[in-house]
Structure 1
Amino acid sequence: RREKLTALTKLSRYIRYSLIEDKSSVWIAQREGRAKNGLDRTEPALLKMLNLSKEKSQTFGTALSELNIVPVSISYEFDPLDIDKSMELAEKYKTGSYEKNEDEDFFSIYKGIVGRKGAVHIAFGDPLKIDFMSADEAALSIDQQIIRNYKPHATNLLAYHKLHKSNDITKEMAAKLQCDWTKITDEFNKRIEALDPVCQKIILEMYANPILQNIDKKK
């Protein structure tokens, strides 16, 4: 435990030095939940790690704000790893665990980079400059920005409508999209039709969850 804390503190100092002294940007991508099921939840522990390097005289919020954290929202029309993720999650649901093959992470990264994504949208939020009292409060603010700036694609709405009834919000989203609905619908259906029902449901939830979050935000 002590060795882990030492390593995390060293990483925190490196990130703070890079941002404040070197004026270099640092990209932090969170793993597991965010990538696997389409639900955006910032881990407060990550923000606590970033503040392990703060001065003793600094408040949590002051130390965090000087890092100039900018939430980033990225959405793909198609996730190159959606089938792989669904099979991994299905295995976890069935057996309680999933054992990766050798070099699986490497090939997943490669596939995620070069695989077909269709339309891609990236949006940068506003820097966190509020004097947050806690990591939970800061994490909530990051999540709100990511959800607000996330641009849904036709695949997100197709998945949502397969699981839920359409409503005024999703109809408005669909009306704003300029795309070939027939082509995308055919490609999306072919993508999942050969999978077993469990994997199909996981993929549909994966694509639909960003829409659910957006609807919850507007309620």
Structure 2
Amino acid sequence: MNIPAEFNEIRPYTPEELPQIYEELIADPAFRTVVESVMPGVPFEGLAMKMRQCKTNLEFQKAFFYGLLWDLVKKTANGLTFDCSALPDLTRNYTFISNHRDIILDSAFLSILLIDKEMTTVEIAIGDNLLIYPWIHKLVRVNKSFIVKRGLNMRQKLEASALMSRYMHFAMKEKHENLWIAQRQGRAKDSNDRTQDSVLKMMAMAGEGDIIERLKELNIVPLAISYEYDPCDFLKAKELQQKRDDEHFQKTPEDDLINMQTGLYGYKGRIHFQTSACLNHELDELKKLNLPKCELFTAISETIDRHIHSSYRLFAGNYVARDLLMGDNRFTAEYTEEEKAHFENYVEQQIAKVDLPGKDTTFLRHALLTMYANPLINYLKAAKG
């Protein structure tokens, strides 16, 4: 396929480029060290040979990531389920826009779930702030990621957004790929999941016709991701206190690495992915309202949020957290005393993991309870509709 050169710096590698990238990865001692820690006892030379046999990105994903990720589910979760019954046509390509819980696993789990539905895996929007080492930069592009450039000035940001939008439309129309993008930059630290208008504005920069027609080209599907337990919850609470105590606080690359590792290997309980229907019909309805541009983007964001919020899978901990946060017993029918004690104990264990001088236990507990209560609070608001 003839891919425009303007996308060379951000797009996934093509099958023709893979052999060279494989050799660069195989020769990288840092990559070898990581592989040997993830797959102990497996000879690296054998893995290198297996890599060289993968002719496409999808073959690589199926040969390596598919099995590794399902093994990870067995070790760190109590099941991973997927409901895409709202999508009657699984042969179409979609842009999944989801809430964002885990740096790596949100899109990775989606891909293995799509494989099981005999759909193609997603091309993944990933921020370049996470590409800490050269081997990570190469591996994510083998794994069908396209790069979102961060830390730019206003003019550069506008140019980068326009380029990314053109690439997403190209990937959908010409490459016939599924796409995944988070509804906002970074994870919602308090689980109050809201779509940023700026994400939709970027997506509507390319394509044909008016804003609605451009967005319809991407076949947007809201996707709700629910984790019973978020292994990074204590790190998110810690970051909230750091930002409270220092308005100039910025996470370091090392912080991102710790979040990635904790998210991968920490306990998650039950995990559920739930799609809504493709938004194209609702976009047509919004078009009839003739809203000003800013109001239109806000209305589309709110539509996506409503679908995500109403599609959450709720667990006992969500109900316990909400009752503890509000200081009442509204949802006692949704959990047992044993489940309540278990969740309270879990919260205390997570607070104990926070390593901060001047650790504010009351603040951290409130932050953790808010994280687990917000999906229920938003679900109830969406249900009222």
Provide the identity percentage: 30
Match of 1:67, SS? coil
* 1:122 has 2:273 as partner: yes
TM-score (ref. length: structure 1): 0.86
The equivalences for 1:37-116 within 5 A come to: 37-55=190-208, 58-116=209-267
Task: Measure the CA separation in 2 of the matches of 1:161 and 1:215.
Answer: 14
Corresponding position of 2:324: 162
Residues 317 and 340 of structure 2 are in contact (CA less than 8 Å); yes or no, is this contact kept in structure 1? no
Residues 152 and 211 of structure 1 are in contact (CA less than 8 Å); yes or no, is this contact kept in structure 2? yes
Quote the offset at 1:156 in angstroms. 1.1
- CA 182–139 in structure 1, closer or farther in 2 if over 3 Å, else same: closer
Quote the offset at 1:97 in angstroms. 3.3
Task: Measure the CA separation in 1 of the matches of 2:351 and 2:368.
Answer: 11
Higher strand residue share: 2
Corresponding position of 1:197: 362
Residues 154 and 184 of structure 1 are in contact (CA less than 8 Å); yes or no, is this contact kept in structure 2? no
CA RMSD of aligned residues (A): 2.2
Which residue identity lines up with residue 329 of structure 2 in the other structure? S
Residue 211 of structure 1, aligned match among 376, 380, 385: 376
Task: Measure the CA separation in 1 of the matches of 2:254 and 2:363.
Answer: 26
Which residue identity lines up with residue 91 of structure 1 in the other structure? Q
Residues 192 and 200 of structure 1 are in contact (CA less than 8 Å); yes or no, is this contact kept in structure 2? no
Residues 234 and 351 of structure 2 are in contact (CA less than 8 Å); yes or no, is this contact kept in structure 1? no
Quote the offset at 1:77 in angstroms. 1.0
- CA 207–182 in structure 1, closer or farther in 2 if over 3 Å, else same: closer
Residues 91 and 97 of structure 1 are in contact (CA less than 8 Å); yes or no, is this contact kept in structure 2? no
- CA 184–7 in structure 1, closer or farther in 2 if over 3 Å, else same: same
Residues 44 and 135 of structure 1 are in contact (CA less than 8 Å); yes or no, is this contact kept in structure 2? yes
Question: What whole-Å deviation, never above 9, does each CA across 1:70-123 have from its counterpart, x for those lacking one?
Answer: 111111111111001101101212222323244211221222122210111110
Which residue identity lines up with residue 112 of structure 1 in the other structure? G
Task: Measure the CA separation in 2 of the matches of 1:217 and 1:11.
Answer: 31
* 1:181 has 2:335 as partner: no
Q: Which runs of 5+ in 1 are unaligned?
A: none
Q: Which structure has the higher relative contact order (CA within 8 Å, separation 6+)?
A: 1
Task: Measure the CA separation in 2 of the matches of 1:204 and 1:7.
Answer: 37
Task: Measure the CA separation in 1 of the matches of 2:179 and 2:262.
Answer: 23
How many residue pairs are counted as aligned between the two chains?
Answer: 210
Which residue identity lines up with residue 378 of structure 2 in the other structure? Q
Higher helix residue share: 1
Q: Which runs of 5+ in 2 are unaligned?
A: 1-153, 288-295, 355-360
TM-score (ref. length: structure 2): 0.51
Corresponding position of 2:171: 18
Match of 1:75, SS? strand
Which residue identity lines up with residue 22 of structure 1 in the other structure? K
Question: What whole-Å deviation, never above 9, does each CA across 1:155-178 have from its counterpart, x for those lacking one?
Answer: 1111111112233xx456x27x9x
Match of 2:219, SS? coil
Stretches of 4+ aligned residues off by more than 6 angstroms: none
Match of 1:35, SS? coil
Residue 180 of structure 2, aligned match among 10, 27, 32: 27
Task: Measure the CA separation in 2 of the matches of 1:146 and 1:73.
Answer: 5
Question: What whole-Å deviation, never above 9, does each CA across 1:119-163 have from its counterpart, x for those lacking one?
Answer: 111101111112244211111110000001011111111111111
Which residue identity lines up with residue 166 of structure 1 in the other structure? N
Task: Measure the CA separation in 1 of the matches of 2:332 and 2:340.
Answer: 16
